[in-house]
Chains A and B, each alone.
Chain A
Amino acid sequence: MSAQIPISTFKPYRGEKARLVRAYDYLILVLALFLFIGSFHLHFALTVGDWDFWVDWKDRQWWPLVTPLIGITFPAAVQAVLWDKFRLPMGATLCVAALLLGTWVARVFAYHYWNFFPINMVLPATMVPGALVLDTLLMLTNSLTITSIFGGAAFALLFYPTNWPIFGMFHQPVEVANSQLTIADLFGFQYIRTGMPEYLRIIERGTLRTYGQYATPLSAFCSALLCSLMYPLWWHIGKWFASTRYLAKI
């Protein structure tokens, strides 16, 4: 048994019915805000994790690969419902804005005020520009295929350049004890963490770093390819979870 929306009954409500529907909208807005902060943030923190927590983990190789790849999941799943069923072109932006709100609250009160990490050391990355493009592209094309290929790629490719104004300054070189470090590295060595030792800090590994300045664009384009695949996968996951079935038993 599935719920069927009776299309013939759609008409503008007036008077009390219009107020009732508007009140229901507000209830849903509050519900959705906390739902997406709570769920998307947990998903993101336990997969992207340290790459988003710490400034010295934001490397040229893994950070631009992992963050968009995981970051496109919930936006795709929520777009599958909000665009497909309600024609609301805001699923990706809603998810990413909710995530950003949740991470900022945690970074300020859980990292800075409880354990005294400098706020500059725990700034969250932003995916808002990519999400805006993803929503706009879906709205303009109304096509899962085009949004997957071009929207998914744009979501990944925009990540590094749109974050550069926030994090570029921490890549400035400094000389400490006859060694050249970045300011981000210096933060890491000054504020000792259990996740800080080199065996846990899996950044800039492998031979890709020998490509020098090309490491970042290579990672970004690899992420673009993966995001183009991840987007339709999560669109269908979102559709599956948004089932309207009633079961006889569980």
Chain B
Amino acid sequence: MATTTEHVSLSTETPKSLPWYLIDLPKYLKGFGLLTVIYVSLRLYQGAFAVAHGLDSSEPAFEQYWMRLFYIELAVIAAVASGIWGYLWTTRDRNLDQLEPKEEIRRYFTLTMWISIYTFAVYWAGSYFAEQDNSWHQVAIRDTPFTANHIIEFYFNFPLYVILGGCAWLYARTRLPLYAKGISLPLTLAVFGPFMILVSVGFNEWGHTFWFREEFFAAPIHWGFVIGVWFALGVGGILLQGVTRLIELLDKIEDAD
């Protein structure tokens, strides 16, 4: 999804079946597909090995089935973060002042796709696996912060949506003139607020260590997560910024059938 002005002519010629503003649609759909495969696979892994080997962290099988997965996740997260963020930064557009209106419109579409992929990851982390955390800890007494659901939810899902949110922020900052000139407040809120949910894991685990090992979702030790997710409402501001600029850009291009 990264394109510089040097590549504009190439990118506008490539798609024969798709209109020029949807050139990144196949990559967007592949992104959805890839994330779906990853999340469903992790859920199936939990179904296969959580009850069998995920109830007692002192057993050797726990180390084999769950801590090994945890280490793999850390490596994948580090590689993906450095790879995608590094790519977006090194391929940044250094000629934003010469950007054509059509290319800028296309990039707004691509930014919207990045944010959409980000919200898809927020769905899995904030909705499905979050409630599943309650379900699991209602039947399994935790004896470690690395439980069979935490290893997926806290140490993979949370960092992954942070990475994807960071991608959206970096894409806008490096490829769209308004976002390069100033720092968008709503985009920054929508990315860095939910990032604080990852940080709140520390408070959550501290609270479970001190107060109770059972699960009680409405308890104050979880409210750090709640405040973090309010910042996702910043997406409304991103939408307003995008629509405003698109109206201006559409006025600059010719009508076509």
Interface of B is mostly: helix
From the candidates A19, A106, A195, A248, name the one contacting B131 in the complex (CB within 8 A).
A106
The 8 A CB mask of B215-241 against A (1 = contact, 0 = none) is 111100011011001111111110111
A250, CB-defined interface residue at 8 Å: yes
The residue of chain A having its C-beta at the shortest distance from the C-beta of B218 within the complex is: A49
Shortest CB distance B22–A (Å): 6
B244 within 8 A of partner (CB): yes
How many cross-chain pairs have Cβ atoms below 8 Å apart between A and B?
242
| Contact surface of A with B, Cβ cutoff 8 Å | 1, 3-6, 9-10, 13-17, 19-21, 23-24, 27-28, 30-32, 34-35, 37-39, 41-43, 45-51, 53, 66, 74, 77-78, 80-81, 85, 102-103, 105-107, 109-111, 113-115, 117, 193-197, 200, 237-238, 241-250
Whole-angstrom distance between the alpha carbons of A1 and B183 in the complex? 10
Q: Which of A3, A28, A37 contacts B244 (CB 8 A)?
A: A3
Contacts of B137 in A (CB 8 A): 194
Give a binary string over B4-40; 1 marks a CB under 8 Å from any A CB, 0 the rest. Answer: 0000000000000001011000000000000000000
> Which B residues are CB-close (under 8 A) to A45?
130-131, 134, 217
B131 and A110 form a contact (CB under 8 A): yes
CA distance A41 to B257 in the complex (A): 42
Q: Chain A interface mostly helix, strand, loop or mixed? A: helix
By a CB distance below 8 angstroms, the chain B residues around A113 are 47
B183 and A3: CB pair below 8 A? no
Q: Of residues A14, A19, A42, A249, which shows the largest number of chain B Cβ atoms within 10 Å of its Cβ?
A: A42
Q: Is the CB of B138 within 8 A of A114?
A: no
A-B contacts, 15 listed (Cβ < 8 Å): A27-B112, A32-B235, A34-B122, A42-B225, A43-B229, A46-B130, A46-B226, A102-B123, A194-B138, A194-B213, A194-B214, A200-B216, A242-B186, A245-B184, A247-B183
- Determine if B257 and A15 form an interchain contact, defined as CB atoms under 8 angstroms apart: yes
Contacts of A41 in B (CB 8 A): 126-127, 130-131
Question: B74 near A: Cβ within 8 Å?
Answer: no
Contact A16 B240 (CB under 8 A): no
CA distance A43 to B222 in the complex (A): 10
In the complex formed, the residue of B with least CB distance to A240 is: B233
When the two chains form their complex, are residues B126 and A106 in contact, meaning their CB atoms are under 8 A apart?
no
CB pair A39–B233 under 8 Å, yes or no, is yes
> Are B132's CB and A110's CB within 8 A?
yes
Interchain nearest-CB distance for A43 vs B (Å): 5
Bound-state CA distance A246–B178 (Å) is 8
Nearest residue (CB) in A for B251 is A9
Find out whether the CB atom of B226 lies under 8 angstroms from the CB atom of A6. no
